[in-house]
Structure 1
């Protein structure tokens, strides 16, 4: 078991058993799935007020689902405020109608579930041979995405009033959740049209670690980035706490995006001065990635 990555610096949240409540819309917990190769976890779906009157809805898949709606049930008493922000944007007509599929994490397996596992083999052989917990860790991102795409999405598509096509299917997360959102786009470009990687943990491991994990992630990105025209990418970071490590790494990623031919509005990188690596900061700017992913003016790109 890779205990290294269950420390607070990666926000490895404790599972919460208290039922979550929302102040806008409705939250439903889905039946248990037959999890294959990953630890079982609750999955919730948030439905906006008036659902299903504006069907078909887009579907936003989000990770760390226990942190999104109710601060009274989270380990740090913070939340994203997804229900409030999403409701306000939809009521104002700033986004198309959408639901949120919230997949909880399992704190003990979070890093292995979210790390883009095909990136590890791109490190030099000598680095992969070093005795380091990361090199011995079990990585399960491929299985996690197989669950999301092969089991969860078909269930949502069948049981909820959503449009199942790529143009109306998007994904988002923060920190390690940002990495797995990006990985989902690159592994399943036929499924997802847009991803928001918020406070992306480009380091991949601890800030003071010496393995070239960040470089391997960038190599994977460069080798698997789809050609511009049918996909959209949103990146951002703050400037405080763990986010203070991200600016030089994000600049290198931005170079890859630019060299691949990505331009606004299909690619956006934002910096939020004073924002830290926590849910309060992500809540404060959540409207920005939601407008990017689901704004009415963005849909023409995704429909091509």
Structure 2
């Protein structure tokens, strides 16, 4: 697994932007606003990006998609690897083509060096024995730099999102209020925190998008870690009712670890008899672990969540 560790280390090594740095992004569709110095009682203060769709009007209300790793969403000229999710282009085109109802996107930047501690599902981590927890805390993302730079605090990140970010957005923008109008999305570690937050706050969201979900949890295959993720989902999936869940994965670079693990999660959903119309698991052979890959297929989960025909599906 040396190659996987190297790839994962490089991807994290690029997360060097400080909290004080707020990239000035440009979008080709819609309009973007930056909320500077958004303060929190639960996590480090940071900025937020708020993307308003083409045709945004004060006379209408909009559903909202909350997305992790906010620096990587809109403008490759400002990202460490010069890639982006192309959220404005993809979502904007779907809206203009009337394939989806218009929606707002809130981009939440990650905690930089604390990203792993912020996104790793906390309760599954704490269900590991103390010896295992300490072993994980000793892992390095690259020589001399810990993978976890602090104790896992994803429960506080979820509180930050649900108790602070959402109320702010719904009070400052023309956002539809209520769980049926809110969605959460991320990739890799952002995929983990998306399903984890959905399970912990099922009354706060209508769906979760989990792309290239990093089921190993760390940079090598670890059956003990994955078993806790799987157990947590099995024990909490009953909290969901009409929420939509989207998974996908490739098999290139870091995604090479995911196919067998995602199949186990798919089997869990099937055995739990989660309604087939409410969840998807898509496989994209040949696709790697990158913003370019996620951008190519982002339209699929967006149509699943926001498609105009969903009420009659």
- Determine if the TM-score, normalized by the shorter chain, exceeds 0.5: yes
Displacement of 1:130 in angstroms is 4.6
Instruction: From 65, 71, 75, give the equivalent of 1:70.
Output: 75
Q: Is the 8 A contact 2:8 2:254 kept in 1?
A: no
Q: Which residue of 2 aligns with 1:206?
A: 219
Tell whether 2:295 aligns with 1:255: no
| 1:6-41 Cα shifts (integer Å, max 9, x gaps) | 822457633254311111111101142222242222
Tell whether 2:23 aligns with 1:21: no
Whole-Å separation in 2 of the counterparts to 1:188 and 1:114: 15
Displacement of 1:86 in angstroms is 0.5
Whole-Å separation in 2 of the counterparts to 1:289 and 1:92: 16
Whole-Å separation in 2 of the counterparts to 1:31 and 1:129: 36
Q: TM-score, normalised by structure 2?
A: 0.88
**For 1:133-282, what aligned pairs fall within 5 Å after superposition?**
133=138, 137-208=150-221, 210=222, 212-226=224-238, 229-282=241-294
Displacement of 1:136 in angstroms is 8.9
Q: TM-score, normalised by structure 1?
A: 0.91
Whole-Å separation in 2 of the counterparts to 1:71 and 1:136: 27
Whole-Å separation in 1 of the counterparts to 2:228 and 2:168: 34
Whole-Å separation in 2 of the counterparts to 1:90 and 1:250: 30
Tell whether 2:93 aligns with 1:80: no
Q: Is the 8 A contact 1:39 1:109 kept in 2?
A: no
Q: Is the 8 A contact 2:202 2:240 kept in 1?
A: no
Whole-Å separation in 2 of the counterparts to 1:6 and 1:144: 22
Residue segments in structure 2 that go unaligned for 5+ positions in a row = 1-5, 140-147
Bigger Cα displacement from structure 2, 173-182 vs 8-17: 8-17
Q: Which residue of 2 aligns with 1:46?
A: 51
Q: Is the 8 A contact 1:28 1:46 kept in 2?
A: yes
Q: Which residue of 2 aligns with 1:101?
A: 106
Displacement of 1:207 in angstroms is 1.9
Displacement of 1:297 in angstroms is 2.2
Root-mean-square deviation over aligned CA pairs:
2.3
Instruction: From 85, 94, 105, give the equivalent of 1:89.
Output: 94
Bigger Cα displacement from structure 2, 47-56 vs 248-257: 47-56
Tell whether 2:308 aligns with 1:296: yes
Q: Is the 8 A contact 1:178 1:200 kept in 2?
A: yes
Residues 31 and 10 (structure 1), Cα distance of their counterparts in 2 relative to 1, 3 Å cut = closer
Whole-Å separation in 2 of the counterparts to 1:42 and 1:114: 17
